[in-house]
Amino acid sequence: MEFAGSAMNDLCISPEHGRRGRLGRRKIIYDDTKEFKSKNLHAERRRRQKLSDRLLALRSMVPIITNMNKATIIEDAITYIQEQQESVKLLSDQLIEMDESLDETVKTVSDHEIDPAEEMKQCGIMEDIQVTYVDETKLWIKIILEKKRGRFTRLIEAIAYLGLELTDINVTSYKGAILVSSCVEGTYGDTLTVQQTKELLVEIIRSI
Amino acid sequence: MEFAGSAMNDLCISPEHGRRGRLGRRKIIYDDTKEFKSKNLHAERRRRQKLSDRLLALRSMVPIITNMNKATIIEDAITYIQEQQESVKLLSDQLIEMDESLDETVKTVSDHEIDPAEEMKQCGIMEDIQVTYVDETKLWIKIILEKKRGRFTRLIEAIAYLGLELTDINVTSYKGAILVSSCVEGTYGDTLTVQQTKELLVEIIRSI
DNA sequence: CGGCACACGTGAATC
DNA sequence: TGATTCACGTGTGCC
């Protein structure tokens, strides 16, 4: 059983053994007039060259190459792929987060904006309090309450007393109900929580 | 000049030439008791195994593998890296776009918050009070005043203190100014005069 | 000089 | 069977 190469084929390639430097820098001069033991020699040559070319292409794709070694090229490619996977994950997470928050605000906004008359008719004279997050210091509140004399003024006073500044406010009275939609912010830039503010408003309205 | 392998070392490895199947499925049985012509045989074995391992690791990183060939693995890795690069570019572009639009809105919003009196003057907005007759008990008032913290609340309090009930009110803040348009009526159905009410409002606003 | 990285031609296994 | 793929041991250039 013969094995791996033979001295017979010494002259088939250039004296320098076809090698000039490292990966991708060799100059091969084949002498195809000679005969070989294996018939798949040409195929093997093509195969080797193809693999070398792919490796070269891979090297050109990866920005950070620590070494020109075949193994190192693949290693760097692996770490690069990992970095890219993390980048993709991070970016898409951020994007999803942004999308969700945007959807949330749009949804709450459109919820608030749909057809005041319709909503009031549906709710009739049902009192309602909704608090929507705008940013850390700003909240948007919508209040529907039964119209009573001086009740709106007392509501404004109470809100101011709680340290909330009304930046924009819109008040409508209709069919015995008052609809207040307003933007409030903490007097000294305090962080406001939706739940806490809503509870405070419920307490206020119950007392007036 | 001898070249590439020799029959001398046939017995150094298992009869099946250490090969069982394709990439990553070989079972190598080395016989290190034999001597070899080349002294770097072990090193070469290690090198080959390392390269195979890297290639295997690369294969595990790439989700779509069309073939198990060495060349194909690298090829698929290249296309995967390209796809990932495009994904990263697309995602970061979207993120930048979103960020910019968000910055824009934040900027325009915060633009409103800077410099109340100055901005009003620049935009040619003057403080103004207008009172319009609706009927004996109802008046429509329009007030433009410089935005100051808590000023609106104090205005509402003062109006209530004067015995005026706010039935409908609309407040908008823009360019450092507050625009209040509201319908007021006397608390006990009193007759209201335009001139008198306007003077009262002027007095109130001057004091707050 | 020795270690390292590479390409080489080959036998065998797989399809 | 013929084509293809693989691992092998080796020769050689380079550091």
Q: What confidence tens digit (pLDDT) does each residue in B147-204 have?
A: 787 788 888 888 888 888 877 788 776 667 788 888 888 766 667 788 888 888 898 8
Could A171 and B173 be called an inter-chain contact, meaning their C-beta atoms sit closer than 8 Å?
no
Give helix B41-61 / helix B70-113 axis angle, nearest 10°.
50
For position B187, what pLDDT does the model report? 67
Q: Could you tell me if A66 and A76 are in contact, meaning their C-beta atoms sit under 8 angstroms apart?
A: yes
Is B47 in Cβ contact with A71 (below 8 Å)? yes
Nearest nucleotide to B25 by CA–C1' distance? D6
The better pLDDT of the pair B3, A49 is held by A49
pLDDT at B123 over 50: yes
The closest alpha carbon to A72, from A57, A59, A86, A53, belongs to A59
CA distance, residue A22 to nearest chain B CA (Å): 15
CA count, 13 A, side-chain hemisphere, A147:
14
What average pLDDT score do residues B51-80 get? 93
Q: Are residues A84 and B88 in contact, defined by beta-carbon separation less than 8 angstroms?
A: yes
Closest residue in A to B168 (Cα–Cα): A172
- Nucleic strand D near CB of residue A47 (< 7 Å): yes
CA dist., res. B192 & res. B131, Å (int)? 11
Q: What six digits make up the tokens of B31? A: 């016989």
pLDDT band per the 50, 70, 90 thresholds, residue B24? very low
B143, with CB counted inside 10 A (0-12, 13-18, 19+), is: buried
Residue A47 pLDDT: 94
Protein-covered nucleotides of chain C (CB closer than 7 Å) are 3-15
* Average pLDDT over every residue of B105-116: 53
Express as a percent the part of chain B with pLDDT over 70: 67
Q: Is the CB of B66 under 7 A from strand D?
A: no
Amino acid making up residue B55: L
Task: Using CA coordinates, name the residue in chain B closest to A77.
Answer: B58
Return d(Cα B142, Cα B140) in angstroms, integer: 7
Average of per-residue pLDDT across B130-142: 84
Ranges in chain A, pLDDT < 70: 1-36, 38, 101-126, 173-176, 187-190
Is residue B206 over pLDDT 70? Answer: yes
More confident residue, B4 or B125: B125
Residue-level pLDDT at B55 = 94
Residue A116: Cβ-neighbour burial (10 angstroms; 0-12, 13-18, 19+): middle
State the nucleotide closest to B15 in CA–C1' terms.
C12
Q: Could you tell me which residue, B149 or B42, shows the higher pLDDT?
A: B42
Q: What pLDDT sits at residue B97?
A: 80
DSSP A12: G
Q: Give the nearest partner residue to B169 out of A10, A91, A171, using CB atoms.
A: A171
**A2 is near strand C: CB distance < 7 Å:** yes
DSSP readout, chain B? ---S--GGGGGGB-TTTT--SSTT-----B-TTS--S-TTHHHHHHHHHHHHHHHHHHHHH-S--S--SHHHHHHHHHHHHHHHHHHHHHHHHHHHHHHHHHHHHHHHHHHHHS-HHHHHHHTT---EEEEEE-SSSEEEEEEEEE--TTHHHHHHHHHHHTTEEEEEEEEEEETTEEEEEEEEEETTS----HHHHHHHHHHHHHH-
Tokens standing for residue A84: 């890219």
Q: Where does residue A45 rank: exposed (0-12), middle (13-18), buried (19+ CB within 10 A)?
A: middle
**A195: closest CA of chain B, how far (Å):** 24
Interface test with B, best of A9, A52, A88 (most B CBs within 10 A): A88
Q: In the prediction, which pLDDT does A19 show?
A: 37
Rounded-to-10 torsion of CA A8, A12, A16, A21 = -120
**Mean pLDDT taken over chain B:** 75
Residue B204: the pLDDT is 87
Query: For strand C, is any atom closer than 7 Å to the CB of A70?
Result: yes
The C-alpha atoms of residue B75 and residue A55 are separated, in whole angstroms, by 9
Interface contact B78-A57, CB threshold 8 A: yes
B50–A62 CB contact, under 8 Å? no
Q: Which of residues 11-30 of A touch strand C (CB under 7 A)?
A: 12-13, 17-19, 22-24, 26, 28, 30
Q: How far is the CA of A55 from the C1' of D7 (A)?
A: 19
* Predicted local distance difference test score (pLDDT) of residue B57: 94
pLDDT higher at B79 or A140: B79
Q: Is residue B9's pLDDT more than 50?
A: no
The residue among B141, B175, B136 whose CA lies nearest residue B158 is B141
Residue B182 burial (CB count, 10 A)? 20
- CA of B95 vs C1' of C11, distance in Å? 57
CA of B62 to C1' of C8 (A): 31
The tens digit of pLDDT for each residue in A70-110 reads 999 999 999 999 999 999 999 888 888 777 766 665 555 44
| Closest residue (CA to C1') to nucleotide D6 in the complex | B22
Distance CA B18, CA B6 (A): 16
Q: What is the pLDDT of residue B130?
A: 84
